[in-house]
Every structure is written in C-alpha cells, then in structure tokens.
C-alpha cells in the first residue's frame, strides 16, 4: 500500500501516547487527507492528532525510532498549494488542530500568543468577545485556516500588518529529535521581552522554521495593531491596459512614503469576474478558455477594469483625509475611476444602487457584493467569501460548506515575487496571461504590493477535476 | 606571546594572497587593536586586511588549515562593546575596511547594496553627490562606523528605518569553510527580487548571521526611505520624575498607532549633561560620582528635564501637523515642556537665544547645541558630536579626532531590552540608577522605543582608564 510500511510497533506506541481514537487509520479519512485540488499520488499511512506539546514530542520520537517520516499540518487548509498532502509518499500526517489554545493577550502592547490549531475565525471571535481594541490581520483564505500555518508559510493579508512573518516572534519549536527550543528572548524562561522583541540575543532563528521542515512550531506570538480612529477603503478601476505600469508606479510610490501602509491588491478582470460568478458556460457555448474578446464584454457589462486596485487608509480623520487627497493626486493622470468607500457608506449605498449607477456608470450592486468582505479583510475580519471562486469551472454552484478537495475543484496557485516596478510587473503578468490562455485556462491574476518594494503576482489556475484529462493539462 | 602561535606557514600563505603589507604584525598596530575602552587581555597575533571576496575566502581557508581562529571586524568602531578586541585570545583580526564598494543604488525602489567597509560617512556623501531623494538611517556612533557591522550587530538609529536589521536583505556570506552563500532571493543568480524581497524562498537565513559568528557578511542590501515632504522634530522635557511611566505610555501609544514612526529617544538628566559638557570637577571638588542633589542644580541651571524625549515627525505638511496635534494632546497631562523644532526654525532661533529664554524659560543655546546634530540624525545625517561624551570623566577636553581606545576613555555600554510599558521601564531604570551610583558612577541612561513594543535601555558607564583601579571598579 505504501512504500514505507508503518509497523504495528510504531502504531502501538503512538496509541499509547495519544489514545487510540487519535491515531487514525481508516481508509475514508486517509483518502480525504490524500486529496488535494490537483492530482497527487502520495499515500498517507496514518493520521496522528496530538493534543499538547508533550504528545507532539512523543509523536516525533516514536516516528524517529521507527523510521517513519512525519508531515505536520496545522489546519490543513493549504488549498491550491497542496492541501494536506505531504510532498513525499508514506509520511504519517501530524495534524495539530487540537493544540488550539489562545495563551495570552496583551491590550497595551498589542499581541496575542497562540498554538497552531488556533484559526482565523477563533481569534477574531476571541477579540470580539474580549471587546478588544486590537485588530488581527486575516488572509483571504478560509476563516478556518491556522494563524501559525499561514505565518510560517509566509502568507499575507490586507491590513498594515499584512506581511505575517514580519509580525511574529517568540516561537516554541519541536525539533526533529523531539527536543523543544524557544526562539528570541523566549529562550530565557520567564523573560518579559519574549513577546515584544523580535530578534532576541545572539543569532535570530525564527526564519529557519518558515517555509521549512526544520521543526514544528507549537507556539507563536503575533503582533496586533490597535484599531485606528478611522478606516476607509479605496477602489480604483483601470480603464486602459497600457496604463498598468503607471498604476503600479503611483501606488508603489505612496506605499514607499507610507501614505499607503497596507498590502495593496490589484486584481485583473478575470480575477474579479471569478469573484462575482462561475464560468459563463452558456455564453461560451461550453467552450474554454474565456477569450479576451468575451472578457472585454464582461468588463463593459459589469463595469470591471482591466486592473482593479483596492486598499485601506488607516489613521485619524485628518490622516485618512490626507491619504485620500494624495491618492487622488497620484492617480490623477492614470485613466480610470477612483472610489472611496467606508463601511457606513456601503450600507447606505446598498439602498441606492440604481440611481447611483445612472449617475456614475459604476455598477454598485456588483461592487458592493464583492466589496463588503474585502472591506472586512482590510480590517482583519476573516471571510469565507473568496472560497467559492475555487468552483469557477464547475457546472453547479458552490455548496454552503465549500471544500475544494472534496468537490474536486481544480486549483493551482503560483505566486512569484517581482520588484514593485511597472515594467517588471507588466512583463510578469504578460507572461502569465499568454501562458495560461495558450494552455486553455483563464489568466486569473492579482498583484499584491506586500511591501513597498515587492509585488506578489498571485496566479490561480482554476479547473474542474471531474473532467478527464484536466489534471494533466493544468499541470502542463 | 599568544597562547596559540600563528605559524610562519600560515603567515606565508596569507601574504601570498593579500600581499605582505596587508598582513600586519608590528607591535604598535597590534597593540592598538588590542585596546578597548575597558580592560582586556586578549592578544592579537596578526591583522589581515583583505581587499575582496576572494581574499576573504583565502583568509578563512588558510586559517582553517592552520588552526588559527579569525575575528572579523568591519570598521572596528564598536566602542563600549569591545572595540576591535576579539572575545578570545589568539584570534587573528580580519579587518574588512578595504571592501568598501557601494555596488548598487536604486532610487525608485529605495535601496543600496554595500560592502562591509562602507561607512556611514561614505554612504551619506555618496547620496549627496548623487542628489538622491533617499535618506539613509544613521546610528549615533562615529560617522566612520560600518553600515554592515552596525546592522549585523542589530544597532539602531533615529529615522523610521531605525531598526537596522529589519531593513536589510540579500546577504552574501562567507562561511567558516570559505564557501560563499547568498541569502533570500540572492541565492538565485541574477534574481531581480534579491534586493527587495526579504524572506526569499524556503527558510530565511539572514537572522543566523546577526549577532553571531556563523559567517562573514561581505555584501548586504539596505533599504532607504524616500525623503519626506516635511520633517520636524519634537523635544519634551519631563518636569516630574514620577510622571516617567506616564510619558512612556503616551509615547508608546503614539508609536503603536504609527503617528510616531521612528525610534523615540528618552535621555535622563545625566545623559543630557554628558552630551553638553565634561564632568564638573570643580563644582564637585574632584569627588565622584555626581550626586543626585548636584544633578538637580544642573537640571535647573541648564533647563534639563528628569527625562528628555526627542523624536521626528515625517510626512506631508498635513501629516506632520496632525502628528503635532496628537503629540500635544497625548502629553497634555504629562508635566513638562513640549517643543517642536524644524531645521529652519533652529537656524533662526540661534539668533534670538536671549529674548527666547526670557519669554519661555527655555535655555535655547544649550538646546540648539545639542539639538542640531540630533535633528541631523533624525534625517539620517551621521554625526561625530556624540563621541566626545566618551571623554566625560577626563580632565582635558576631547581632541579634534576623538579616539576613545587611544585616549584611555573608560566606556562600557549595556543595553537591556524591556517591554515598552511604564512600570517595566521605570523599574529597569531605577535598578540601573541605584547600581551605578552605589558603584561610584553616573547613571547615564537613554531609553529608546526601538519598536512600538520594546524599549532599549541604553546605559553608558563612563570613566577614566588613566586612574588606577577604575577598570576594576567599572567592571564590578
């Protein structure tokens, strides 16, 4: 069944440590864990569900003793990048969801300390319940994804704390040997600087454990921003494809000057359409991919720009007002429409969709539909709204409880980082667009200015795994 | 002479690689390099001065082959923390000052790539000469200190880019074996993201080489901020020692809200006095330490606060104005005097010292004397003005070319990091004050809010190494 057999002796020891019900061998559970949003062939001989640090250590020691490789996951919602499937065959899955304690919250200094099972949804509810003045940063993925998992894979979100790995410290890590180390000032037991000082004393080790398999992070401190007095969002719709480099330059410049302090997301037309609806099977008579000529029709009909930028403005009334002024000035010569939206404005606007569209030509109802959860993300509210876009090429709508693995959604993410310069970004997106269309898929791209200097070109390749041959075509 | 003898064979090989004049053995040079601002006994058998990467690799390979430990320094201006003196006896000194090229400057993306010999002075002159719109961040130490040396030891400065290690990436590192690695995206030859993306692909290694001896950094990219439209400084003089925690809380809060975006420095009375003059030998009839009662007199006479905070406001006219409004509001209930100073204002004020003092009670000439270079530092202009304070306990004034090692200035720095909370900072500074006075030294302290969450309590212990017994007393 698997290349490396897991011996009965290893299973017995794991059962003794975790309890039988947390050493999972049944074929259905294993089969689910072996399923991603693209073709995989790795087999998982067992799923281990430790409940605490000691059990994680036990799992590793037993695995070492019996020569079984382990693959740790937090919540396993890494859709598009491999879900829960280990990179190699025969790895036992170490599922950390039961380590789900929120250990510390400091309102004055702005941080929270969590275990790997703590999800976006859980932290958000916790802050609400505590009536905290702090905001978390959420990634656009499922509300049920793990905070530690996302930070250690260097995910990003939408607030000024969007570069997740840049806002964490004080890791507790179980090494492959089963030993535990703490990073930064946490190496000194009881050190009060552990949750606030990133670098510690001597070499800084945190980076070693990100995007790596050098250890399993079982605790982490995350810095949280205080809620600003005022928050407002901007949306910019680019009306000329040629002006894309100018848009990047203008936004990069404001980001460098820290007028824009959060990640700026710039989605192309295909990406926006995928957020609004499924593949237009009727209009295309069932043909794929969606050709640029038809996309142009959708742009006109739904008032979508070639590129659609959005971001937040945070601060006092005066600072947000100044940000708006500077944004207007910076985009003055870039052909397109700039709109500022506050949550209050959005609520009111919902009631005046028709007259607003007549006056401005902006299709507000579509905008609101897409904008509401985006505004939420900009203030750290997790949303499940972006997940249905994984069902783009399906023939039936996304279910209430979307699960792209289960529902055979085809989804491959690819996120190259390029310098935040107009020409670089333009070139990268051109290469992607051409390649995707030639391959028969829609070039769904969002460019995110994660920092002032670097843009992540997030490409999603969507398809339907139920159509024979699509897995192979996507991979090619 | 040394515990570990450096063999003639090693010297021959080093000479072959570097040329004879760059393998320095003479007793005077070695003696100078063995001298710090406190007592040390480590001997240095040879000083090696490579000119390029290849020679650095040679030095390491030869050292390995002959079992000679190497201690790398960039400019060796680490005064107060050990100068050029290796931590162990018998290390050959690897002096990287000849690797002094500025390899790249990018105005759009805001970065510069340098070698370890590049000093603060050199980069500042280079940016001036290029008429760059970018600002560097300078530490208060000598203009001749190395940028790489300071960043890798995790030094800090005075602009929004003050946390140096947080603003570097793309390291080129020579490992102890002599092999060269590049970190982050620089691991991919020619990768355009190398100078802009901090984390790279896979584990991030940069932290490993900071405050460590795992490798020698021979190239680094430093991010530079664009000059803001407007810059203004604030100075706050605290008039009640009891209100110190309230001051910390108020400033921490503005720092968390990013109204204050740079390191805020808060010096106590002793620290400010040490910046204005040498030890008052006459007034004390030659007795040390300077007692709190006499310090109180100086506070009154020179209009020094118990604590004296300073920081910069950066942005557009409107943003700086808003920062001033918020700072005034935050400090409204903290007993003391708040002053805003721009460089233009400082030039004008210099002409009206007397009437200004009569009107406000603020001794402007002293303030200006201390403030000018501080304002410079806040906009990244290196200064030599802070160095003479190392001569505090000397009987004669600092020379034009201060060199604390040569002139037997006693200087020990100690910089514990504490959470940026009033009670923590208060407690830490109380412990230091009591310990220093009991030991017979002035408690010269500056508290720096390096980040919004952590305060570095920088303590300098100043003495005169020419007075017998002082070395021992200082160390105790």
The reply to whether residue A203 touches residue B208, judged by beta carbons under 8 angstroms, is yes
The reply to whether residue B196 touches residue A322, judged by beta carbons under 8 angstroms, is no
Do residues A38 and A475 make contact, with C-beta atoms less than 8 angstroms apart? yes
**H or E element at residue B111:** strand B111-114
The reply to whether residue A210 touches residue B197, judged by beta carbons under 8 angstroms, is no
As a residue count, chain B comes to 476
Cis upstream peptide for B289 (omega within 30°): yes
Phi-psi region of A110 (alpha: psi -120 to 50; beta: other; left: phi over 0): left
**Residues of chain B contacting residue A204, judged by C-beta atoms under 8 Å apart:** 165, 206-208, 210-211
Do residues B289 and B440 make contact, with C-beta atoms less than 8 angstroms apart? yes
**What is the per-residue pLDDT across B432-444, written as a single tens digit (0 to 9) for each?**
999 999 999 999 9
How far does B94 lie from chain A, in Å, by closest CA? 20
* Choice between B19 and B83, residue whose per-residue pLDDT is larger: B19
**Residues of chain B contacting residue A205, judged by C-beta atoms under 8 Å apart:** 207-208
The reply to whether residue A110 touches residue B453, judged by beta carbons under 8 angstroms, is yes
**What is the per-residue pLDDT across B139-161, written as a single tens digit (0 to 9) for each?**
988 899 999 999 998 999 999 99
* Choice between B327 and A470, residue whose per-residue pLDDT is larger: B327
Low-confidence winner among A21-30, B91-100, B350-359 (lowest mean pLDDT): B350-359
pLDDT band at B363 (very low <50, low <70, confident <90, very high): low
Instruction: Nearest by CB to B212, from A193, A202, A206: name it.
Output: A202
Q: What pLDDT score was predicted for residue A98?
A: 97
Average per-residue pLDDT for chain B: 90
CA–CA gap between residue B145 and residue A362 (Å, rounded): 57
**Can you point out the beta strands (E) in A188-333?**
216-223, 225-226, 230-238, 264-268, 307-315
Closest CA to A462 of A265, A270, A264: A270
CA–CA gap between residue B150 and residue A341 (Å, rounded): 44
State which residue of chain A sits closest to B109, comparing Cα positions.
Answer: A453
Q: What pLDDT score was predicted for residue B359?
A: 63
Mutate to test the interface with B, among A199, A249, A321 (most CBs of B within 10 A): A199
**Chain A stretch 77-96, residues whose beta carbon is closer than 8 A to a beta carbon of chain B:** none
**Residues of chain A contacting residue B202, judged by C-beta atoms under 8 Å apart:** 211-212
- Answer positive or negative: Cα dihedral of B368, B135, B262, A133: positive
CA–CA gap between residue B164 and residue B141 (Å, rounded): 14
pLDDT band at B474 (very low <50, low <70, confident <90, very high): confident
Residue B236: pLDDT above 60?
Answer: yes
How far does B174 lie from chain A, in Å, by closest CA? 16
What is the model's pTM?
0.93
CA–CA gap between residue B469 and residue B201 (Å, rounded): 54
Residue B466: pLDDT above 90?
Answer: no
Mutate to test the interface with B, among A106, A111, A159, A193 (most CBs of B within 10 A): A193
- Does the structure's ipTM exceed the value 0.85? yes
Instruction: Nearest by CB to B211, from A193, A202, A259: name it.
Output: A202
In B80-146, alpha helices (H) = 120-129
Residues of chain A with pLDDT under 50: 1-3
Q: What pLDDT score was predicted for residue B81?
A: 73
Is A261 part of the contact surface with chain B (CB cutoff 8 Å)?
Answer: yes
Q: What pLDDT score was predicted for residue A384?
A: 83
Q: What pLDDT score was predicted for residue B355?
A: 66
Is A464 part of the contact surface with chain B (CB cutoff 8 Å)?
Answer: no
Is A175 part of the contact surface with chain B (CB cutoff 8 Å)?
Answer: no
Residue showing tokens 């600087």:
A193
| Percent of chain B clearing pLDDT 90 (strictly above) | 67
Phi-psi region of B170 (alpha: psi -120 to 50; beta: other; left: phi over 0): left
CA–CA gap between residue A118 and residue A101 (Å, rounded): 7
Give, as one character, the DSSP assignment of residue B399.
P
* Choice between A51 and B2, residue whose per-residue pLDDT is larger: A51
């Amino acid at each position: 069944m698997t290349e490396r057999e897991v011996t009965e002796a290893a299973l017995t020891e794991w059962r003794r440590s975790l309890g039988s019900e947390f050493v999972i061998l049944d074929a259905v559970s294993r089969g689910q864990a072996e399923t991603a949003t693209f073709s995989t062939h790795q087999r998982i001989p067992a799923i281990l569900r430790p409940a605490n640090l000691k059990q994680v250590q036990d799992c590793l020691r037993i695995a070492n003793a019996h020569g079984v490789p382990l693959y740790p996951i937090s919540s396993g919602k890494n859709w598009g990048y491999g879900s829960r499937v280990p990179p190699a065959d025969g790895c036992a899955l170490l599922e950390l969801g039961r380590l789900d304690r929120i250990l510390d919250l400091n309102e004055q200094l702005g941080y929270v300390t969590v275990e790997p099972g703590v999800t976006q949804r859980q932290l958000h509810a916790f802050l609400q319940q505590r009536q905290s003045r702090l905001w978390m940063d959420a990634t656009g993925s499922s509300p049920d994804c793990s905070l530690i998992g996302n930070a250690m894979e260097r995910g990003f979100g939408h607030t000024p704390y969007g570069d997740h790995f840049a806002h964490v410290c004080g890791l507790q890590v179980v090494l492959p040997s089963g030993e535990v180390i703490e990073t930064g000032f946490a190496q000194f037991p009881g050190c009060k600087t552990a949750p606030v000082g990133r670098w510690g004393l001597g070499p800084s080790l945190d980076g070693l454990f990100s995007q790596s398999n050098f250890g399993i992070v079982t605790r982490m401190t995350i810095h949280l921003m205080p809620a600003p007095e005022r928050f407002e969002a901007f949306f910019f719709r680019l009306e000329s494809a040629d002006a894309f480099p100018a848009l990047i330059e203008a936004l990069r410049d404001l980001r460098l000057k820290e007028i824009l302090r959060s990640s700026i997301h710039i989605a192309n037309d295909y990406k926006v359409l995928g957020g609004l609806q499924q593949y237009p099977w009727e209009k295309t008579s069932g043909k794929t991919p969606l050709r640029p000529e038809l996309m142009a029709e959708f742009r006109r009909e739904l008032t979508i720009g070639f590129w659609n930028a959005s971001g937040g403005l945070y601060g006092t009334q005066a600072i947000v007002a100044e940000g708006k002024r500077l944004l207007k000035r910076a985009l003055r010569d870039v052909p397109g429409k700039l709109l500022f939206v506050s949550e209050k404005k959005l609520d009111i606007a919902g009631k005046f969709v028709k007259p607003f569209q007549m006056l401005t030509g902006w299709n507000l109802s579509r905008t609101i539909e897409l904008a509401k959860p985006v505004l939420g993300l900009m203030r750290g509210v997790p949303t499940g709204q972006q997940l249905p876009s994984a069902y783009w090429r399906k023939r039936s709508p996304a279910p209430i409880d979307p699960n792209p693995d289960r529902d055979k959604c085809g989804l491959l993410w690819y996120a190259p980082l390029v310098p935040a310069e107009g020409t670089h970004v333009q070139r990268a997106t051109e290469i992607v667009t051409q390649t995707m269309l030639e391959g028969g898929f829609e070039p769904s791209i969002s460019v995110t200015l994660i920092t002032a200097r670097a843009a992540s070109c997030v490409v999603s390749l969507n398809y339907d795994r139920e159509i024979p041959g699509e897995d192979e075509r996507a991979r090619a």
